[in-house]
Structure 1
Amino acid sequence: MTRKKVKLAYIANDSARKATFKKRKKGLMKKMSELSTLCDIKACAIIYSPYDSQPEAWPSPAGVQHVLSKFRGLSEMEQTKKMMNQESFLRQRINKANEQLKKQCKENREKEMTQVMYQNLSGEFGLQNLMNMADLNDLGYMIDMNLKDINKRVESLAKMGSHDNSQGSPAAEPEANSGSQQFINLLQGNIGFGIGGDEMMNFFASDSNWSNGPLFP
């Protein structure tokens, strides 16, 4: 059974905080020992706590002195090369969370516009319900991406059909082109709000009209 994810926040309860400290400290010491033994590296740890009158040093005070002396012997550039304080660590976490948020927003927007596109093809949704230019830009992007996928599929089937013809088999290209044309005809017939289907397709095909959409650069 998987363990419950611990919320990284200050533990207000004194007894729970002390128990967590002892448990985590023991785990930290174990990991330090494993890292040092398995990878043959020099490592040390100094832990101050309100529960002990003296700081605890691992592996020993002499061992800590040896590692610190070696560290101080490095140039200032080498010392700070991979150093990270609390502020930079939190900044890194925030930047990573922001990137994940942007990625999720883009995925959600793509799904939303894909749903709008298919609803429009089925006649359940009209473009007059899209309230701003950003929606039209994003919808145009999704239509263009789908048409590109269809064209790639058609080309692939056409090559397979050409190969089959050389072997004496019926061609697959007409069927593929028929399916592609049906999809394009549906788009041309269903996408429009006061202007012709061809004009709307030309609108979506123009990079200047949709390439600067907010979520689909």
Structure 2
Amino acid sequence: MAATPSASRKRILTYITDDSNRKTTFKKRKKSLVKKARELSVLCGVTVCAVVCSPFREIETEVFPDEGGVREAYARFKGMTQVEQTRRKYSQETITEERYEKVKSKALKVSTGNQEKEMTEMMYQYLSGQLMSLPAMNLVHLNDLAVVTQRHLERITEKLAALGKEGDSVLMPPPPPRAPASMDMGGGMRNDEGNGMYVNTNNRPEGPAC
């Protein structure tokens, strides 16, 4: 069954303002978190602890695996060096910074791709005669256009080198075909030798009348 558009979109995490919905979500997510912590501990044989403080009076604070397990895990953590403690340590600030850097990098790639497409289209329009003159651009855009043009020239050179041909010979038009022997070109011009040399038959002296 095909996924609906709403299901295929990523859910945006934001604070739930409605008290009833926030309480229901807290119960479900807390249960899921404790389940995942237990599965990770059993499947991988690692020490896992979790303390989920409840903001609601009627819901107790969740401690996994138990108070003794949490104290033991905390003691092991404090026994590590400062480097070991911070090597894989994440906070809301670090997570936000990582997400920001990823979004920033993605936006930069999209912007660079759009800029290259725009400059490539402008280059083709100018070469084909659709664009008679370049629009007013600043030094940054002119430099981008020069970079794109140089990149296309390098690609063309690489393709020509792969074909084993030189650029000049490829770009030279083919020679015109040789005219056949004794071909009348009209207007008194005729090729008698078939060697591309034409003679004017209008000024040729007339022979003796028969």
Normalising by structure 1, what TM-score? 0.68
Q: Say whether residues 1:122 and 2:114 are aligned partners.
A: no
Q: CA deviation at 1:143?
A: 0.8
* Aligned equivalents of 2:133, 2:143: Cα separation in 1: 12
For residue 28 of structure 2, what is the amino acid of its counterpart? K
Tell me the equivalent position of 2:94: 88
Letter aligned with residue 43 of structure 2: L
Q: Which residue of 1 aligns with 2:148?
A: 142
Name the CA distance, whole Å, in 1 between partners of 2:28 and 2:149. 56
User: By percentage of residues, which structure has more helix?
Assistant: 1
User: Cα deviation per residue 1:180-215 (whole Å; 9 max; x = unaligned)?
Assistant: x79xxxxxxxxxxxxxxxxxxxxxxxxxxxxxxxxx
- Determine helix, strand or coil for the equivalent of 1:129: coil
What does 1:169-184 correspond to in 2, within 5 Å?
Answer: 173=165, 178=170
Match of 2:71 among 40, 58, 65: 65
Amino acid at match of 2:110: Q
Aligned 8 A contact 2:51 2:61 in 1:
yes
Amino acid at match of 1:84: Y
Structure with greater proportional strand content = 2
The Cα shift of 1:175 comes to 9.0
Q: Out of 40, 44, 50, which is 2:45 matched to?
A: 40
Query: What is the CA deviation profile of residues 128-169 of structure 1, one whole-angstrom value per residue up to 9, with x for unaligned ones?
Result: 3243232221111111000100111111111xxxxxxxxxxx
Based on CA coordinates, which of the two structures has the bigger radius of gyration? 2
Give the 3 Å change call, closer, same or farther, for CA 117–69 of structure 1 in structure 2.
same
Match of 2:11 in 1: 6
Of residues 141-150 and 53-62 in structure 1, the stretch that sits farther from structure 2 once superposed is: 53-62
Q: Please tell me whether residue 74 in structure 1 is matched to residue 80 in structure 2.
A: yes
Unaligned runs of 5+ in 1: 159-172, 183-217
1:104 aligns with 110
Task: State how far apart, in whole Å, the 2-side matches of 1:27 and 1:156 are.
Answer: 59
Larger RCO: 1 or 2 (CA < 8 Å, sep 6+): 1
In 1, Cα distance between the equivalents of 2:19 and 2:168?
Answer: 70
Which amino acid letter does the alignment assign opposite residue 45 of structure 2? D
What TM-score comes out, normalization by structure 2 length?
0.70
Structure 1 residues 79 and 174: CA distance shift in structure 2, 3 A: closer
Question: For the residues of structure 1 that align with 2:107 and 2:158, how far apart are their CA atoms?
Answer: 31
- Select which of 144, 154, 157 maps to 2:160: 154
CA distance in 2: counterparts of 1:91 and 1:49, whole angstroms? 27
Contact 1:154 1:176 in 2 (8 A): no
Contact preservation (8 Å) 1:45, 1:64: yes
Query: What amino acid is the match of 1:35?
Result: L
Q: Which amino acid aligns with 2:91?
A: N
User: How many correspondences in the alignment?
Assistant: 167
Which whole-Å CA distance do the structure 2 matches of 1:86 and 1:177 have between them?
A: 63
- Give the aligned residue type for 1:48: C
Q: What CA distance in whole angstroms lies between the structure 2 residues aligned with 1:112 and 1:19? A: 50
**CA contact under 8 A between 2:157 and 2:167: conserved in structure 1?**
no
Q: CA deviation at 1:23?
A: 1.8
2-structure distance, mates of 1:6, 1:129: 43
Which amino acid in the other structure matches residue 5 of structure 1?
A: K
